[in-house]
Amino acid sequence: MIKNIVFDMGKVLTAYRADAVACHFIEDEAERKEVCTSVFVSPEWVLLDMGVISEEEALKKIQARLSTAHAREMARLCLEHWHEYNMWPVEEMGELVRQLKKRGFGIYLCSNASLRLLSCYQKVIPAIDCFDGILFSAEEKCMKPQKEIYLRLFERFSLKPKECYFIDDWDLNIEGAKACGMDGYCFADGDIGKLKKVLEGFPNPTGE
């Protein structure tokens, strides 16, 4: 029986747009694209999510790829402020979380995210008060779909894989979870109605 629902964060519980912060700070379209690519489509971004590089180190490498002093300064602003602009709560998902909590499910989060999120996740994750556990990849120095992060999730919160159901927007992450014994649902289409129907088919853990 499924007793716990494990959510991803970006594009599941929160909406995410990588260029939103660049649109805020940068007027020139070509420069905006250059900076956004250098910051958010970069090996440094992945390394930040893995927790194996500091933001200072990442910024130096990001800026080294940029062609002008202005672009380098814009990259600094984007890296410093991205969490203020790039993601926001999906309120309907918050309502779903509250419904699941009321039905008796344990609610957990497993997300590829940098240490920056530790200081602000309470502001962007809807129904945050309902969560029984939060796990970010940077804390564990591994990330989805590596098996290590799922095993850390189970160990840290004393969860049995077969009693957990994982919701993520990337199929590879669902496959990684399944390889560790946790079934899941790929939320790539963002259709909350379809997801609700799937979850409504699970009996309440309390039997009520």
Tell me what the mean pLDDT of segment 138-155 comes to. Answer: 98
Mean per-residue pLDDT of the chain:
97
Query: Which tokens sit at 42?
Result: 């970069």
Supply the angle between the helices 192-200 and 91-103 in degrees, to the nearest 10: 0
Element (H, E) at 30: helix 29-40
Do residues 4 and 156 touch, judged by C-beta distance below 8 A?
no
Give the separation between CA 71 and CA 149, rounded to whole angstroms: 35
Query: Which tokens sit at 177?
Result: 């979870």
Tell me what the mean pLDDT of segment 9-35 comes to. Answer: 97
Task: Please report the pLDDT score of residue 208 as a whole number.
Answer: 66
Of 72, 80, 90, 92, which is closest to residue 55 (Cα–Cα)?
80
Question: If pLDDT is split at 50, 70 and 90, which confidence band does 206 have?
Answer: confident
**For the segment 83-105, what is each residue's pLDDT rounded down to a tens digit?**
999 999 999 999 999 999 999 99
Give the separation between CA 144 and CA 161, rounded to whole angstroms: 15
Give the separation between CA 80 and CA 86, rounded to whole angstroms: 12
Tell me what the mean pLDDT of segment 127-151 comes to. Answer: 98
Question: If pLDDT is split at 50, 70 and 90, which confidence band does 180 have?
Answer: very high
Give the separation between CA 44 and CA 90, rounded to whole angstroms: 27
DSSP H helical ranges for 41-170: 43-50, 55-64, 69-85, 91-103, 121-124, 137-140, 147-156
Q: Is the pLDDT of residue 149 over 90?
A: yes
Tell me what the mean pLDDT of segment 134-140 comes to. Answer: 97
